[in-house]
Copies of this chain bind each other. A is one copy, B any other.
Amino acid sequence: MAGLRSIEFGDLVRVIKKNIILEGIVMPATEFTSSDVIILKLSNGYNVGVSLKDAKIEVLKKSYVSVGAEPLQARTCIEGKGSMKLSLISTGGTIVSKVEYETGAVKPALTAQDLIELAPEFLDKIAELEVVELFRLLSEDLTPSHWSRIADEVAKKVETGVGGVIVAHGTDTMSYTAAALAFALRNLPCPVMLVGAQRSSDRPSTDSVLNLRACPIVALRAPFGEVVVVMHGHTSDSYVLVHRGVKVRKMHTSRRDAFQSINDTPLARVDFPEGKFTLINKRYLPRSKPEFFTAQTKFSDKVSLIKAFPGFDCEIIDYLVDKGYEGIVIEGTGLGHIRGECVESVKRACEEGVIIVMTSQTLFGRVNMKVYTNGRKLILAGVIPGSDMLPEAAYAKLSWLLANVPDRNEVKRLMTRNLVNEINEVHDMSLYPRWYHG
């Protein structure tokens, strides 16, 4: 029997106890773990706590998961047992993070290969996984120029004919990047799946394993060629949801099911443990023929997103115009309003060629600027109503249009047109969650 002290996080071990034999990767202890219990990640992805009382423990492989040990790798290839080729592009985020034990903070430090080793059954369905480590950034540090680099990298992979591209990404701005990629990468022959975690991958409670496991299933089964977010649909490990990238939002700081579709139903769900794929939403962009795939990966960084509030300072708009901003998305109140006093600043901005788009901070519903006087004045001043687009999606769309469409009138026209299901032509009033008051 190996001495308990010699067993370290990341070791692959076998525990033999009465009639039970368990094999798995040793996970770090939590504050709730008693001293004679170890947490094992089993090959099916689940974590179990095992008391070591009267148990025999063998180390099968030291440092099976070598956390943070390897340098940032440009490219790796991992072979699997299935028949599909997949790509995984890692940008950083909690999914590739571990707890920095000195400070208690979480930092991106796992290699993408570590990730796969935490979810080994991931490889059952694929022949070859090419792993690219693009950045190791937390997503709050990403900018539109990072969107361009991610889009370029995804486009390269798509062009090699893979069955799907997985983008490991921080959850903070995942919905912004998902929307950006959806506008940049068109007529996709396969799904592009953003995946992340709300709990770092070195924690027993991590959600990264299940989210990752869902990706090859989506790549195999999904009829759609869209940019999607693949994240827990429930706090338990029961199912993963596949959300349309332009219609999803992080709605909770910490729950595993933080991602939710807004003004839309999720495209699909994957139920576990069976890994069953179910299409929920029949309105999707089908997989395109590879020759129709296009990538326009530039984004303008001269677009701002501002929120209206009582006493909103109209001079912020003047300031942005003077700084050379090309576009402003307003997260207005209600049906799409800001203070009447701001109409003059808005008008001046529009006259100087700045494109101003109105969305709503209510998130649900649809902008309608024809109902109230202030809305009408804003339309006359030149504001483009953002329909039922999320502020984040409108922001990514405007940033993409301004970088790729030279004619400003055409940019304005396209802001009101549905390009990739970011706008529902007909709004379904029932797409509103049921709240806890029954």
Contacts and interface: CB of A to CB of B under 8 A. Distances in A.
Interface of A: 103-107, 138-147, 170-173, 176-177, 233, 235, 241, 249-255, 257-258, 260-261, 265-266, 269, 280, 301, 303-311, 313, 315-316, 319, 323, 331-341, 360-368, 370-376, 392, 395, 429-437
B307 A331 contact: yes
Contacts of A364: 251-253, 255, 258
A41 to B, nearest CB: 21
Given A252-B364, A395-B309, A340 B374 contact: no
15 contacts: A105-B371, A105-B372, A139-B333, A140-B337, A140-B340, A143-B339, A250-B334, A253-B367, A254-B335, A255-B432, A257-B432, A261-B437, A316-B316, A316-B319, A433-B435
Contact of A374 (B138, B375, B432): B138
A426 to B, nearest CB: 14
Nearest to A173: B310
3 cross-chain pairs, A with B, having the tightest CB-CB distances, nearest first: A253-B365, A433-B433, A172-B333
How many chain copies does the complex carry? Answer: 2
A269 B304 CA distance: 40
B307 A307 contact: yes
A142 B337 CA distance: 12
A338 B376 contact: no
- Determine which residue in A269, A364, A368 has the highest number of CB atoms from chain B within 10 A of its CB, and name it: A364
A337 B172 contact: yes
A252 B362 contact: yes
Nearest to A431: B436
A241 to B, nearest CB: 6
A319 B322 CA distance: 12
Contact of A140 (B269, B338, B362, B365): B338
Contacts of A141: 339-341, 374
A372 to B, nearest CB: 6
Nearest to A104: B370
A107 B305 contact: no
Contacts of A261: 435, 437
A347 B338 CA distance: 30
B172 A334 contact: yes
B333 A173 contact: yes
A419 to B, nearest CB: 20
Given A140-B339, A141-B341, A311 B306 contact: no
Given A269-B437, A433-B436, A177 B371 contact: no
A310 B144 contact: yes
Contact of A310 (B107, B177, B362): B177
Contacts of A258: 362, 364-365
A311 B143 contact: yes
Contacts of A266: 437
A362 B177 contact: no
Contact of A368 (B177, B253, B260, B315): B253
Contact of A372 (B138, B360, B437): B138
A241 B104 contact: no
A22 to B, nearest CB: 30
Contacts of A340: 140-141
A252 B310 contact: no
A371 B106 contact: yes
Contacts of A308: 140
A432 B256 CA distance: 12
A310 B146 contact: yes
Contact of A260 (B319, B337, B376, B435): B435
A435 B435 CA distance: 8
Contact of A171 (B334, B339, B376): B334
A124 to B, nearest CB: 26
A316 B430 CA distance: 38
Contacts of A331: 307
Given A141-B374, A253-B362, A434 B437 contact: no
Nearest to A336: B253
A364 B255 CA distance: 9
B144 A311 contact: yes
